[in-house]
Each structure stands twice: as structure tokens, then as C-alpha cells.
Amino acid sequence: MKQNLTVQLDAEVIRRAKALAARRGTSVSGLVAQQLEALTAADERYRRARESALGMMEQTRARGGRQWTRDELYEERLHRFGS
């Protein structure tokens, strides 16, 4: 079910958004919907990746595995990928 959303923007932003929408063959509403969908999808991917990483860290801790300091992780990254 779709719902309406009211957004207040500067007149110049609206003008440029209308021109962009016309070039892309869509509406300003369509542009906004596409961008919000992309942002929320990226945020969801980040959230899942973060939860996964925290879970792996907790499993390592629970098994008595190595606990890295921030400095050690930074040094390892520099060694692996360069400066």
C-alpha cells in the first residue's frame, strides 16, 4: 500500500528535480521514491553486515579466541592493503 509524503524543498531544488525527472522520463515523486528505496536498502545491508560481524566477534570471544585492539586491526589493515 502506497502512502503520500509531504516534503518541503527550496524552489530551485524543485525546478532542478523537475528537469531531471523529465530527462529520466519519470516524476519528481518517482525520483524521490527511487532514492529513498536505494537509501533504505543500503542501510538494511549495512545493518545486516554489522550484526553478522558483531555475532562473529562474540562467537570468537565466547571460544576464548584472540581479541584484537583497534591499533592491531589498523596495523593489520595497513599491512594487507597498504597506506
The answer to whether 7 touches 32, Cβ cutoff 8 Å, is yes
Place of cell 528505496: 37
Q: Rounded to an integer, what distance in angstroms lies between the CA atom of residue 7 and that of residue 10?
A: 10
Q: Rounded to an integer, what distance in angstroms lies between the CA atom of residue 37 and that of residue 27?
A: 15
pLDDT in tens, 6-61: 999 999 999 999 999 999 999 999 999 999 999 999 999 989 988 888 888 888 87
pTM of the model: 0.60
DSSP letter assigned to residue 63: T
Q: Is the pLDDT of residue 83 over 70?
A: no
Q: Which residue did the predictor score with more confidence, 25 or 62?
A: 25
